[in-house]
Structure 1
Amino acid sequence: MRLFHHPRISTTAILVLLASTTVTLTGCGQDTGTDGAENTTVENVQVTLPPSIKASHPYRCEDNSVVTIDFLSDDVTIYLRSEGTISQLKAPVPGEAFTDGKHTVAGDGAAIELTRPGKKPQTCKM
């Protein structure tokens, strides 16, 4: 019994076609120029992680508003959460006031001096 029966195509022609296709596809996807050595090197790269949160404190201000400040481990960055917005403030060096051009926070202990846009400077306490 013949698997393929067509009056114009012989079984021999089908076998030759299948064999040549197999030989042709055998070489596909092989790159003979490299052995993968360029992918095995490991570079010793210094990775700097972002600063972590060192402390987080809520403060109540003189106008009865509440702000939360996240103090980061680099000692020159804080996140100020006030009225639903988060602002990143930076200090030029540790110990100086943090600012982003709009807000200013001086101090980092139980009481801070906070200046916000459109409001007078006020003291806020933990």
Structure 2
Amino acid sequence: MTRTPFIIMLAATAALAGCNNSDHTIVSGPAGETDANTLANEHVTLPPSIQASKSYRCKDNKVIHVDWLSDGTARVKQTKEEVGTSVTPGTELVGDGKATTITYKGQSCKA
């Protein structure tokens, strides 16, 4: 009874001793593919983040929702759920994310 665990441990040690102890690096795909992927991923630009999101009521009693983005543009939406259309402030939208009053398509809108 005491010899059986000892014999099993001895057999396991002998089996592991026969393994090759050299370092292996396992790489999937051709050797040049990894370098190409690394170079392709270096110049990634992220989309602009939302700096402010405000709701405005215009003179014609419409409610618009504006997401002010970090790159100076804005996204105007009719509902909070929709994606909206991108607008560069100064064209059909005058104002910024900190203003309480903006002008959208010639109408004054208040936050």
Determine which structure has the larger helix proportion and give its number: 2
With 51-60 and 80-89 compared, the bigger mean Cα shift is at: 80-89
- The number of aligned residues is 76
Given candidates 83, 92, 102, the residue that maps to 1:112 is: 102
Matched, 1:58 2:69: no
Task: Report % sequence identity.
Answer: 39
The one of the two structures with greater contact order (alpha-carbon pairs below 8 A, sep at least 6) is 2
Kindly report the root-mean-square deviation, in angstroms, between the aligned alpha carbons of the 2 structures: 2.3
1:40 aligns to what SS in structure 2? helix
Task: Extract unaligned runs of 5+ from structure 1.
Answer: 1-34, 92-96, 116-120
- Structure 1 or 2, whichever has the larger Rg, is 1
Q: CA separation in 2, counterparts of 1:90 and 1:122?
A: 16
Structure 2 counterpart of 1:27: none
TM-score by length of 1: 0.52
* Equivalent AA in structure 2 for residue 87 of structure 1: T
TM-score by length of 2: 0.59
Structure 2 counterpart of 1:18: none
Change (3 A) 1:37 1:80: same
Q: CA separation in 2, counterparts of 1:48 and 1:86?
A: 22
Q: CA separation in 1, counterparts of 2:46 and 2:66?
A: 21
Change (3 A) 1:38 1:90: same
Structure 2 counterpart of 1:82: 78
Q: CA deviation at 1:85?
A: 8.0
Pairwise mapping of residues 1-126 of structure 1 onto structure 2 (< 5 A)? 36-41=30-35, 42-43=38-39, 45-75=42-72, 77-82=73-78, 86-91=84-89, 97=90, 99=91, 104-108=92-96, 109-115=99-105, 121-126=106-111
